[in-house]
Structure 1
Amino acid sequence: MTWQAVLGSLAVAAALTVTGCGSGDSTASKTPEPTAPAGVPTAPSGPSQPAPTVTAAPAPGPTDPCVTNLAAPEIARAVSELPRDPRSQQGWNPEPLAGNYNECALLSAVIVKANTNSENPNTRAVLFHRGKYIPTGVPDTFGFNGLDSEATTGDTVALKYSGGLPGLDSVVKFRWNGSGVELIGNTPG
């Protein structure tokens, strides 16, 4: 084969390649650009930039069990064990309206309401000894809708009923006596 024949063959091959591709059909346009993983900034084109410094958030430390924790899983577990509300026959909403639950207190409480769409659902207190639900031996705790924080201590819970009118609050105190819960006082608020 002569060099003229080789050049002719190359020219024909090049012509076929050009006519076989459309205007938007090129290898460069079909090759995807490299992408960075989600959340990683991409470097701008142009002069080289230093890589950004990425720092991880510090790991949360252990939570103090002796502070009020109204999101503790023990609350939802205890509320799921309660008998249904006697008035609506519904269960109880595990999100406390008020409370001072903590794992260290001799006696702590949360106030929950019946899981109903009623305008004035029943409420009740759920009592805990050192973070453990007290299922039996507790005086009636229906109707309370708050805690009197000034009269509540590590072994005493002052449950409050507020009817919405100033000066008509009622406070009932319950105390851990070493082996159970006892009613120790009923005072106007």
Structure 2
Amino acid sequence: MAAVALTALTALTGCGSGDSTVAKTPAPPEAPAATSAAPSTVAPPTTTPTGPADPCAVNLAAPAIAQAVSELPRDPRSKQPWSAEPIAGNYNECAPLSAVIVEANTNAENPSTRAVLFHLGRYIPTGVPDTFGFNGLDTAQSTGDTVALEYDAGIDGLSSTVKFRWNGSGVELIGNAPAG
């Protein structure tokens, strides 16, 4: 009996305050090292270095477009505001003249359209010839200082291209020709 009491006393005094179950818990086994012969199941991360966006590239999502469209008077036909999402254009903040084509924000089958003109990325609010009805841009005839706006009614003979040019101080109409 004395031997049992001594064993119990030794067991109780053997566990000091420095002992813990964490210290006595074995660490999880380490994963085996991959060998060069085994294929890797984890793909290396792929990153494509990208530099800053080219400010002189066409950018139909530029904030200046949405700002300009918000300043336009409502469509005279539907009385609706204009959609800030262009249907065509060549907006470029480095070009002497660029344009976007927007349509009235309506569910009509044939919404009104108009061109919005920009000089060096800034909206030209006044002094611009009428730009209602254009529904496209001829990029082949457009240059840094000239935009060729298209009107196509979808009927033979009712298509034309009208050119506008930045003359150094404003926008002028320089040509109107049948399309195609």
Q: Structure 1 length as normaliser, TM-score?
A: 0.73
Once the two structures are superposed, residues 59-112 of structure 1 have per-residue CA deviations (whole angstroms, 9 ceiling, x without a partner) of 420222222111111111111111111111111111110001111111000000
**Which residue of the partner structure matches residue 2 of structure 1?**
2
Deviation at 1:164, TM superposition (A): 1.3
How many residues are treated as equivalent by the alignment?
A: 159
Q: Give unmatched runs, 5+ long, in structure 1.
A: 10-33, 35-44
**Which residue of the partner structure matches residue 47 of structure 1?**
32
**Which residue of the partner structure matches residue 63 of structure 2?**
73
User: Secondary structure of the equivalent of 2:117?
Assistant: strand
Q: Name the CA distance, whole Å, in 2 between partners of 1:5 and 1:113.
A: 96
Matched, 1:163 2:145: no
Deviation at 1:176, TM superposition (A): 0.6
- Provide the alpha-carbon RMSD of the alignment: 3.0
Matches within 5 A, 1:1-189: 2-4=2-4, 46-49=31-34, 54-55=44-45, 57-189=47-179
Letter of the 2:90 partner, please give it: N
Deviation at 1:46, TM superposition (A): 4.8
Q: Structure 2 length as normaliser, TM-score?
A: 0.76
Letter of the 1:4 partner, please give it: V
Q: Name the CA distance, whole Å, in 1 between partners of 2:119 and 2:145.
A: 9
Q: Name the CA distance, whole Å, in 1 between partners of 2:136 and 2:33.
A: 62
User: Secondary structure of the equivalent of 1:3?
Assistant: helix
Once the two structures are superposed, residues 25-82 of structure 1 have per-residue CA deviations (whole angstroms, 9 ceiling, x without a partner) of xxxxxxxxx9xxxxxxxxxx85233896854624420222222111111111111111
